[in-house]
Structures are given as structure tokens and as C-alpha cells.
Amino acid sequence: MSPSKAVLAFIPVLAFIPALAIAVAACTGPPVNISTLDLLKGFETMEPDPYDDGFETRPSATSAQDAVSNALTDTVTLNDNQYGALVSWTFNAGNGNMEYSNLVRRMNGGEDVVAVANDELPLWNKANGKVINGLVWGRKAEVDLFNAPSNVGALPVPC
């Protein structure tokens, strides 16, 4: 049996090992709150469930929710405003940019989430190396939402 066939034959066995199944399971992100929806409406091309035209499509709000939920470890606790601010940022910056960002690395590393968001979100204000006023506004609005008090928990989510 070739190495690639051996690996493929072994993959179904992994599904029967509960600890591994949990470790690789993707979580569905919780819905965002009204404050987040209001913020997302401020982005001109926001579509809650856009169609996929196959070329440079922007993530949907729901894919951004899932991406944030899966990028942050279970040690990161966010309220609904903090989660919503990160979903808004992810919707704008893209799922891949969020996933590999210093913001996610620092939050997953145990740093204070408020300090990290206040440091990192404003840095995402450029397109093609130039500061864009709309991005400056967007990041400020996301920082404001992140810092808005709330007693409603959002993350971590049980999978």
C-alpha cells in the first residue's frame, strides 16, 4: 500500500477517537447582537448571506462568526459586544487575515483581551499600504463596541 493510501485508510479510524474528534471539530459561531448588526450595516457592501460568485468574495457575516469562534481558544472569554467587534473586523479584514493576526495570537497567548483589541484593531486601517479614512472609522467603531460593557457572554462556545 502506498503511503498516501495508508494515510487515507487511517483517517476514518481517527473519527472514533473522541478526544481527537473534539480537538478538530469546528464550532458554529453564535449569532451577533443588534449592536454588531448596526455596525455591519455601516459597511457599504455588507450582505448577511451574499452569493458566492467565485471571485474574491467577501466572507459572509456567518462565516466571520464561525472563523472568530474557531480561531480563539477556549481560554479566551468574550462578551457579546467584544465578540461582535471581532466579527465585524473579520468581516472586513477577511477570515484568513484574522486567523493569522497578532490580535488572535496575543489573545490566545493569554494577554488581556481589552488591551489587545485596543492595541491591534486600530492598526488595520490601510489598503495597499495607505491609510483609508473609512477603515479608520471602522476600526474606531469596532474598538468602541469592544469596550462597551455587557454582561452577556458569547465566547467560548461549547462545541
pLDDT in tens, 130-157: 999 999 999 999 999 999 999 999 999 8
Residue with more model confidence, 58 or 38: 38
Euclidean distance between the first and the last CA atom of the chain, given in angstroms as a whole number: 36
The pTM score is 0.75
Q: What is the mean pLDDT of residues 36-62?
A: 62
Domains of the chain: 28-155 (1.10.530.40)
Higher pLDDT, residue 133 or 58: 133
What pLDDT sits at residue 159? 76
Report how far residue 6's alpha carbon sits from residue 101's, in angstroms, rounded to the nearest whole number: 35
Contact 50, 58 (CB under 8 A): yes
Q: Are 156 and 29 in contact (CB under 8 A)?
A: no
Please answer whether residues 110 and 75 qualify as being in contact, where contact means their C-beta atoms are separated by less than 8 angstroms.
Answer: yes
pLDDT, one tens digit per residue, over 68-121 is 999 999 999 999 999 999 999 999 999 999 999 999 999 999 999 999 999 999
Q: Can you count the helices (H) and strands (E) in the chain?
A: 9, 4
pLDDT reading at 123 higher than 80: yes
Question: Taking a C-beta distance cutoff of 8 angstroms, is the pair 90, 107 a contact?
Answer: no
What the block records as the C-alpha cell of 48 is 448577511
Using a CB cutoff of 8 Å and minimum separation of 24, what contacts does 111-116 make? Answer: 113/76, 113/77, 113/78, 113/82, 114/82, 114/146, 114/147
Cis omega (within 30 of 0) for bond into 18: no
pLDDT of amino acid 15: 40
pLDDT score at 142: 98
pLDDT at 151: 97
Structural Rg of the chain based on CA atoms? 18
